[in-house]
């Protein structure tokens, strides 16, 4: 999940501990990148770490790329705005790890052994034996990565400003340069270990902030009393989602998006290629789910405590709900804790950006050329082209952030739901159902993305262009309550198309699946 944008109201830290922790983290990032460079000898090393990571590293890496900056920025914003109602997201997200592990972990790891696969489009080509599926998957990866990367860099510039007190433009340039250096040097090896460090930091920091936030709010009893006095809906599991019937319907939509949709996130599921062996996959899901739940204590406690104290008139309301987490940490916790958490936020943004950069660059250098029938045959050349593509995507994302906040906001609508709709059906269902066909995969990718772009991005584009009538017309066509996530609709449409078209075109699909892939699906 990405951090929310905008973050302009984050104050500049005045504690030396914040600068110390931030500086140490950036030095650590560069050191990990240099170490990763010495470990990288092939494209396989660069993209999937040579299948070398163990249980705890895999699990904590998976948790950290999903949590990202959301736990520190987007999470407190949701809790502050909607109270306990927003906990539907936090309760359902950990289940996503169980779904992803159950449907994909073993199969994707075996796939990396029996076939030459390094990327998600590689795996989908092997499954469906279709360059169209490979190409569409690669294009969807590139579009999603640019969107995610732009929103992460937009957040990064303000985090750099908060830590070091530098202008946001310099924060963007310096942060992007450090990200580029360690990504180009170390590839996924550097990213995995940075994710691991981030995960440990976030877990420790979340527990500390949870304790300070409860104390700040006067304990849960006082927090609940203040919220209930202001608005009983803030302490209801469904209160901020409309009527009871509508609330259950919307809550179900969020559950589907964040639990089932996890198995469509390429930056998560490609981690399964990297595991040392099948045995280490056994405990990965519960470890990732539990650590995610612990890290969510930060969002839960800061959002509720800040809202309760604002409603009680004890503190001033923040300029923007998106800065509730950073403001609380910077103003109401000791400097050591603030430094630790801001370093974790910096780590979250940069390590997740590194994961996106690697899968996006691989799509440009490996998957799209192969889909077009022009593969790069030499491994060293492919590695260098991947690194150049990585640099190009970083520069493009920096230009997007520098050029327009509106464009960043439009791209920000292409996120979790975009990937869930594009990849859940073709990957999670396709590797478990022999009757799935390439026609079903193509229909699912195109249909899911079309719904997502039409209802999410198009209204933002129309609004930016002053085409209010078009925006209202598109929004008027949305058949569900406004609070029901578009990503869920796109995901369900993709699943329906995948199953329906596969059944229509799959008379010989069972026999058409290669023997080794059929055996994998049956495991």
Entry pTM: 0.87
Q: Are 367 and 389 in contact (CB under 8 A)?
A: no
Q: What is the C-alpha to C-alpha distance for residues 518 and 523, in angstroms, rounded to an integer?
A: 9
Query: Percentage of the chain surpassing pLDDT 70?
Result: 89
Q: What CA dihedral angle connects 69, 73, 75 and 77, to 10 degrees?
A: -160
Tell me: the pLDDT tens digits for 168-222?
888 889 888 888 887 777 666 777 777 788 788 888 888 988 999 988 888 888 8
Q: Are 100 and 322 in contact (CB under 8 A)?
A: no
Domain 16-24+55-353+381-522, what fold?
Sodium/glucose cotransporter (1.20.1730)
Say yes or no to pLDDT of 10 above 70: no
Tell me: the pLDDT tens digits for 14-45?
788 888 888 888 888 778 777 777 766 666 66
Tell me: the pLDDT tens digits for 281-298?
788 889 988 888 888 888
Helix axes 284-311, 324-332, angle to 10 degrees: 80
Q: What is the C-alpha to C-alpha distance for residues 351 and 523, in angstroms, rounded to an integer?
A: 33
When mean pLDDT is compared over 55-59, 165-169, 395-399, the highest value belongs to 395-399
Say yes or no to pLDDT of 491 above 90: yes
Q: What is the DSSP letter of 275?
A: B
Rg of the chain over all Cα atoms, to the nearest angstrom: 22
Q: What is the C-alpha to C-alpha distance for residues 450 and 42, in angstroms, rounded to an integer?
A: 36
Tell me: the pLDDT tens digits for 407-427?
666 676 678 889 999 999 999
Reported confidence tier of residue 348, pLDDT bands at 50, 70, 90: confident
For the chain, helix (H) and strand (E) counts, in that order, are: 25, 0
CB-based burial label for 244 (10 Å; 0-12, 13-18, 19+): exposed
Say yes or no to pLDDT of 331 above 90: no
Q: What is the C-alpha to C-alpha distance for residues 36 and 502, in angstroms, rounded to an integer?
A: 42
Top pLDDT among 440 and 221 is at 440
103 CB contacts (<8 Å, ≥6 apart)? 263, 428, 429, 431, 432
275, β-bridge pairs? 53
| Structural domain spans, the chain | 16-24+55-353+381-522
69 CB contacts (<8 Å, ≥6 apart)? 1, 2, 3, 152, 155, 345, 348, 349, 352
Averaged pLDDT, 328-352 = 82
Specify the 3-state DSSP secondary structure of 294: helix
């Amino acid at each position: 999940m990405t951090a929310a944008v905008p973050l302009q109201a984050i104050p500049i830290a005045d504690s030396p501990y914040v600068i110390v922790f931030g500086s140490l983290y950036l030095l650590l990032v560069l050191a990990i990148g240099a170490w990763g460079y010495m470990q990288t000898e092939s494209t396989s090393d660069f993209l999937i770490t040579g299948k070398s990571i163990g249980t705890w590293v895999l699990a904590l890496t998976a948790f950290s790329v999903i949590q990202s900056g959301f736990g520190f920025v987007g999470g407190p914003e949701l809790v502050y705005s909607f109270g306990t109602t927003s906990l539907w997201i936090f309760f359902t997200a950990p289940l996503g790890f169980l779904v992803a592990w159950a449907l994909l972990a073993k199969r994707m790891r075996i796939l990396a052994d029996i076939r030459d696969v390094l990327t998600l489009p590689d795996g989908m080509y092997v499954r469906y034996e279709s360059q169209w599926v490979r190409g569409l998957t690669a294009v969807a990866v590139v579009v999603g990565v640019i969107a995610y990367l732009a929103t992460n860099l937009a957040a990064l510039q303000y985090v750099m400003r908060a830590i070091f007190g530098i202008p946001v433009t310099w924060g963007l340039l310096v942060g992007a340069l450090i990200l580029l250096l360690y990504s180009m040097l170390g590839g996924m090896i550097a990213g995995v270990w940075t994710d691991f460090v981030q995960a440990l930091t976030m877990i420790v920091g979340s527990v500390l902030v949870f304790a300070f936030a409860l104390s700040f709010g006067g304990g849960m009893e006082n927090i609940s009393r203040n919220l209930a006095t202001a608005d009983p809906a803030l302490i209801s599991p469904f209160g901020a989602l409309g009527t009871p019937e509508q609330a259950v319907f919307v809550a179900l939509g969020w559950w589907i998006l964040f639990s089932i949709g996890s198995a469509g996130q390429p930056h998560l599921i490609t981690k399964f290629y990297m595991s040392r062996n099948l045995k280490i996959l056994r405990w990965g899901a519960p470890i990732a789910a539990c650590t995610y739940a612990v890290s969510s204590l930060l969002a839960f406690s800061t959002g509720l405590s800040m809202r309760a104290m604002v409603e009680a008139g004890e503190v001033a309301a923040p300029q923007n709900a998106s800065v509730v987490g950073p403001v609380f940490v910077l103003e109401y916790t000791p400097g050591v804790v603030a430094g630790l958490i801001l370093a974790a936020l910096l780590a979250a943004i940069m390590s997740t950006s590194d994961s996106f950069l690697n899968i996006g660059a691989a799509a440009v250098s490996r998957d799209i050329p192969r889909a077009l029938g022009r593969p790069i045959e030499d491994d060293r050349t492919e590695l260098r082209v991947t690194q150049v593509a990585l640099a190009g995507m970083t520069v493009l994302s920096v230009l997007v952030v520098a050029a327009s906040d509106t464009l960043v906001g439009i791209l920000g609508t292409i996120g979790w739901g975009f990937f869930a709709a594009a990849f859940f059906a073709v990957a999670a269902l396709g590797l478990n159902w022999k009757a799935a066909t390439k026609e079903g995969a193509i229909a699912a990718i195109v249909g899911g993305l079309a719904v997502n772009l039409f209802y999410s991005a198009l209204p933002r584009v129309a609004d930016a262009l002053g085409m209010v009538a078009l925006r209202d017309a598109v929004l008027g066509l949305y058949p569900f309550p406004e609070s029901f996530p578009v990503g869920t609709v796109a995901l369900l449409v993709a699943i329906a198309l995948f199953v329906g078209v596969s059944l229509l075109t799959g008379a010989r699909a069972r026999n058409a699946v290669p023997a080794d892939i059929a055996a994998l699906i049956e495991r």
